[in-house]
């Protein structure tokens, strides 16, 4: 199984919106709404911020939103804040009943 | 509040077996599915496998044959065994709960180095 493809980096100024894409295949992203997103700051464990494509766990700001079209899922951070600077990873369930992670994206707040 | 904690050796010799345990508090391991995920230094996340609450497992295809994940309901723990390790298996190893097709919460992670 191949890793899902994410852009290596995206950047934006405070208050702006940024979108991170997560491209897979018909055997993973395209088959299920089982796509989730994680935020990882340096030296810490990843944190779940989106599950089932667009649902937010309790406590995650509504600035974070998710969507999916075909084989590509997306994470949008609206009203970018300095504390959003981190690495972001997507993951998807697959038709082989396994999971696959994305390659990861570094978000920089300018 | 569900919490997870990884424990195990921080150094394993090449060709030997890496063994880690994840202790779960705040819920029973029987209630959810549980995952092991690793992250080589400076690299991205890599899903290793999953154990369902009743013991059924699913593994990353490229690791199948080397990996075993099991659950011990009496100790409220689940474990990872990775055989015949090489330097490529050096990573921070995380345990996590599989919840609604996402992973959360996660343990703090434990660094395992493979070196002679």
Contact between residue A71 and residue A50 where contact means Cβ atoms under 8 Å apart: no
pLDDT at B86: 97
- Residue A5, CA distances (Å) to A42, A98, B6, B8 in order: 21, 17, 29, 32
Q: What is the mean pLDDT of chain A?
A: 97
pLDDT at A1: 77
Percentage with pLDDT > 90 across chain A: 99
Whether A56 has a pLDDT exceeding 80, the answer reads: yes
pLDDT at B64: 86
Nearest to A45 among B46, B61, B108 (CB): B108
Chain A nearest-CA distance from B87, in A, is: 21
pLDDT digits (tens, 9 = 90+) for A32-49: 999 999 999 999 999 999
pLDDT at B38: 98
- How many CB pairs (< 8 A) connect A and B? 67
Contact between residue B83 and residue A27 where contact means Cβ atoms under 8 Å apart: no
Nearest to B101 among A52, A103, A104 (CB): A52
Q: How far apart are CA B24 and CA A39, in angstroms?
A: 22
pLDDT at A55: 97
Structure tokens given for A78: 């609206």
Query: A98 and B107 in contact by Cβ < 8 A?
Result: no
Q: How far apart are CA B5 and CA B26, in angstroms?
A: 12
Query: Which of chain A's residues have a Cβ under 8 Å away from the Cβ of B91?
Result: none
Query: B102 and A48 in contact by Cβ < 8 A?
Result: yes
Residue A85: band (very low, low, confident or very high) from pLDDT cuts 50, 70, 90: very high
| Burial class for A69, CB neighbours closer than 10 Å (0-12, 13-18, 19+) | exposed
DSSP helix, strand, coil percent of chain A (3-state; round to 5):
5, 50, 50
By three-state DSSP, how is residue A82 classified?
helix
Question: What value does the mean pLDDT take over residues A41-60?
Answer: 96
Number of H helices, E strands in chain A: 0, 9
- Residue of chain B whose Cα is closest to the Cα of A100: B47
| Burial class for A76, CB neighbours closer than 10 Å (0-12, 13-18, 19+) | middle
Chain A nearest-CA distance from B17, in A, is: 23
B24 phi and psi, to 5 degrees?
-105, 135
| Residue A36 contacts B where some CB pair is shorter than 8 Å | yes
pLDDT at B53: 74
Structure tokens given for B93: 């190893």
pLDDT at B66: 97
Q: How far apart are CA A57 and CA B68, in angstroms?
A: 30
Structure tokens given for A94: 């697959």
| Residue A7 contacts B where some CB pair is shorter than 8 Å | no
Query: A104 and B44 in contact by Cβ < 8 A?
Result: yes
A69: CB partners within 8 A, 6+ apart: none
* pLDDT beneath 50: ranges in chain B: none
Query: B107 and A45 in contact by Cβ < 8 A?
Result: yes
pLDDT at B100: 86
pLDDT at A73: 98
């Amino acid at each position: 199984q191949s890793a899902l493809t994410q852009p290596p980096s995206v950047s934006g100024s405070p208050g702006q919106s940024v979108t991170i894409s997560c491209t897979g295949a018909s055997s993973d992203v395209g088959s299920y709404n089982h796509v989730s997103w994680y935020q990882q700051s340096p030296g810490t464990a990843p944190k779940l911020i989106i599950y089932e494509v667009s649902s937010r766990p309790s406590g995650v700001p509504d600035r974070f939103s998710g969507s999916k079209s075909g084989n590509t899922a997306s994470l949008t951070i609206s009203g970018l804040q300095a504390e959003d600077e981190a690495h972001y990873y997507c993951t998807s369930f697959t038709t082989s009943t396994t999971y696959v992670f994305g390659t990861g994206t570094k978000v920089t707040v300018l | 509040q569900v919490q997870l904690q990884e424990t195990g050796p921080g150094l394993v010799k090449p060709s030997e077996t890496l063994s880690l345990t994840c202790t779960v508090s705040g819920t029973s391991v029987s209630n959810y599915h549980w995952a092991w995920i690793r992250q080589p230094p400076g690299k991205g996340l890599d899903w290793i496998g999953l154990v369902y609450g009743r013991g059924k497992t699913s593994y990353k295809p490229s690791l199948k044959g080397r990996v075993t994940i099991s659950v011990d309901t009496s100790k409220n723990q689940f474990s990872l065994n990775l055989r015949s390790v090489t330097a490529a298996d050096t990573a921070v190893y995380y345990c996590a709960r599989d919840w609604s097709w996402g992973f959360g919460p996660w343990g703090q992670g434990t660094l395992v180095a493979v070196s002679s």
